[in-house]
A and B are shown apart, each in its own frame.
Chain A
Amino acid sequence: DAGITQSPRHKVTETGTPVTLRCHQTENHRYMYWYRQDPGHGLRLIHYSYGVKDTDKGEVSDGYSVSRSKTEDFLLTLESATSSQTSVYFCAIRGTGGDYGYTFGSGTRLTVV
């Protein structure tokens, strides 16, 4: 399997607290992505990264920030968690070239109470 891991796998947190999710890859891929998956909404892109310190917003970026200080790590931070951010979060990596599909991590199930 491609080397991509997400941590933690499950987390319960309280409204208003900051939360950081981690995505780690060993493939040296340039592109990394954060998605959230919710019933009825499919996969929605939160943020993505073209490389170290090079990130951009996706379609649902409000309330989220990201950082990529090393090629292998892409962090997603919920600055002040809200109940609407209860979701399953997936990280994905992608090699260069248009015919490279994504490789996904196993996901983080986040519950904000």
Chain B
Amino acid sequence: GDSVTQMEGPVTLSEEAFLTINCTYTATGYPSLFWYVQYPGEGLQLLLKATKADDKGSNKGFEATYRKETTSFHLEKGSVQVSDSAVYFCALSDVGTSYDKVIFGPGTSLSVIP
């Protein structure tokens, strides 16, 4: 079945460091891909998405490119801030089937220290 794998956390970075959180997926159809962010004590928020191969999603300085050949959707940010400390979830929705649920990865916790 469909699945999402993320790099294990927690990840700790200094402010202004470069961030990469790896995400790979397995899907039977043609999935849309998402990154969600969860700040402490809050629900998940959609950060960015990409709906087809080679699409790049971007928001708040974060970006991720849908790579069909490597089945990946890695999240990157050039210069992280303390306010980026949160848990990040990679997810997919498989539009090629009648599947109507979003599959989430386990989440990667990020801590940014001043």
Main secondary structure of the interface of A (DSSP, over half): strand
In chain A, what residue has the closest Cβ to B31? A98
B91 contacts A101, C-beta separation under 8 Å: yes
1/0 contact string of B57-93 vs chain A (CB within 8 Å): 0000000000000000000000000000000010101
Contact residue range for chain A?
20 to 34
B93 contacts A99, C-beta separation under 8 Å: yes
B102 cross-chain contacts in A, Cβ below 8 A? 92, 94, 101-102
Tally of B interface residues using CB under 8 Å: 24
A45 cross-chain contacts in B, Cβ below 8 A? 101
Q: Does A103 contact B (CB under 8 A)?
A: yes
Known pairs A98-B94, A98-B95, A101-B46; A33 contacts B101 (CB<8 A): yes
1/0 contact string of B24-43 vs chain A (CB within 8 Å): 00000001101010000011
Specify which of A31, A101, A106 is in contact with B100 (CB 8 Å cutoff). Answer: A31
B43 contacts A100, C-beta separation under 8 Å: no
Q: Which of B34, B43, B51 has the most CB of A within 10 A?
A: B43
Known pairs A43-B89, A50-B100; A99 contacts B95 (CB<8 A): yes
Specify which of A43, A100, A104 is in contact with B45 (CB 8 Å cutoff). Answer: A104
Q: Interface of B with A (CB < 8 Å)?
A: 31-32, 34, 36, 42-46, 49, 51, 89, 91, 93-96, 100-102, 104-107
Q: Interface of A with B (CB < 8 Å)?
A: 31, 33, 42-43, 45, 48, 50, 90, 92, 94, 97-107
